[in-house]
A = this chain, B = another copy of it.
Amino acid sequence: MSEYQRPIRLGMVGGGNDAFIGAVHRIAARIDGQFELIAGALSSTSDKAQASGQALGLAPDRTYDDFRAMAIREARLKEGIEAVAIVTPNHVHMAAAREFLKRGIHVICDKPLTSTLADARKMAQAVEKSDALFVLTHNYTGYPLIRQAREMVANGVLGDIRVVQVEYPQDWLTEAQPEDNKQAGWRTDPARSGAGGSTGDIGTHAFNLACFVTGLTPESLCADIQSFVEGRQVDDNAHVMLRFEEGARGMLWCSQVAPGNENALKLRVYGSNGGIEWEQETPNVMRYTPFGEPTRLLTRAGAGAAGQPSHLTRTPGGHPEGYLEGFANIYLETAACIRAKRSGHVMQEQKTLPGLKEGAMGMKFIDACVRSSARNAAWISLK
């Protein structure tokens, strides 16, 4: 067995039974055989931590109820974890990541970066001081067609970018959520989620995707955010106008109260020479229109897929890959970077993977939305 192929030893913080995103991270880590989950602090409640670890087949002595204890011990073990996935509510991200980063354990952290700007600054320090990798799972950047879109823009296929329309509507918070909805619970609690509701949970994804594909530098935004459901403490809908340094303008809409939308992230980019349109719910096709010519349907791994990185696609065109595969692509590239790091190399992919910089920009985005809206949609700088 080649060193390259040995699965990377992975731990997880958060993601106990019933958590949504923890299970997603585990599948994403497992699907390509690049990681093996061997340790976890899956819950801060001891009983639940044990039960969750057992359900996942973790050894009892690799099941923790405290992430700091896990970091300390795993760092000392000869076969300790090499990387950790942090999938807790947002307010725990920083403290957890710091413990692993300072011990040289690579961190794969769910977004947004943290729940507060103060935490974000501490996270930045921790990342900068560490030699370990820090990857933030802005998973939508993992879709092959999104990579192709980024390539097309970078290569000037669309000409000068003028207009960026991005939206991310959902409907699951249309009504006040039941007390026992674990997902809705922490996501609508500002103490655990942060000041942003929809802006933090999904707006950051939309904002990140727009920046990732266009390569533009956000200059400022103005926002009008709302909490339509009575008693809700965070925003559930946000209207945002964007300005980019290069002259392009954009709109961003995120909502969790738009009935009929499940997870309808959509990006449209228009330049002087052409336009592209892509929707996350049908991620295997992208519309591309060279100005003055018929629209082309570019497909994943299909004809016209020249710009797609072949290592991010597992099946031929027409065999739909979806959310989990896109998410797994972040893990796949992270694995390649970790392996490269072992032998002292830095891979090109490392620049593409979302990390601290993207996380910090996401935090600025949330903060700017909240502050802009409080000032009647005044423009707030993002620099």
Q: Taking beta carbons and an 8 Å cutoff, which residues of A are in contact with B?
A: 1-2, 5-7, 20, 23-24, 26-27, 30-33, 54-59, 162-163, 165, 167, 170-172, 174-175, 222, 224, 226, 228, 237, 239, 241, 243, 249-251, 253, 255, 257-264, 268, 270-277, 280-284, 287-299, 302-304, 314-325, 376-377, 379
> B287 near A284 (CB under 8 angstroms)?
no
A30 interface neighbour in B33, B253, B255, B287, Cβ under 8 Å: B33
A20 interface neighbour in B268, B272, B277, B316, Cβ under 8 Å: B316
With A251-B251, A262-B317, A376-B379 known, 5 other A-B pairs at CB within 8 A are: A30-B30, A228-B272, A258-B275, A287-B297, A320-B320
Contacts A31-B30, A257-B270, A291-B171; A264 near B316 (Cβ below 8 A): no
Complex: how many Å from CA A284 to CA B321? 11
**So how many copies of this chain end up in the complex?**
4
Complex: how many Å from CA A37 to CA B97? 33
A296 interface neighbour in B7, B296, B319, Cβ under 8 Å: B296
Contacts A2-B54, A5-B55, A30-B33; A163 near B257 (Cβ below 8 A): yes
> A263 near B55 (CB under 8 angstroms)?
no
Q: Report B-chain residues with C-beta under 8 Å of the C-beta of A31.
A: 27, 30-31, 324
> B281 near A320 (CB under 8 angstroms)?
yes
> A57 near B251 (CB under 8 angstroms)?
no
Query: Min CB distance, A317 to chain B, in Å?
Result: 4
Complex: how many Å from CA A270 to CA B296? 18
> A241 near B224 (CB under 8 angstroms)?
yes
Query: Min CB distance, A328 to chain B, in Å?
Result: 9
> B262 near A1 (CB under 8 angstroms)?
no
Contacts A5-B56, A237-B163; A262 near B318 (Cβ below 8 A): yes
Q: Report B-chain residues with C-beta under 8 Å of the C-beta of A287.
A: 260, 297
A284 interface neighbour in B271, B272, B281, B290, Cβ under 8 Å: B281
23 contacts between A and B (CB under 8 A): A24-B315, A27-B32, A30-B31, A33-B56, A163-B255, A165-B253, A171-B275, A174-B272, A224-B243, A239-B241, A239-B249, A241-B241, A257-B270, A259-B273, A264-B318, A281-B284, A281-B320, A282-B282, A293-B304, A294-B298, A297-B297, A319-B322, A319-B323
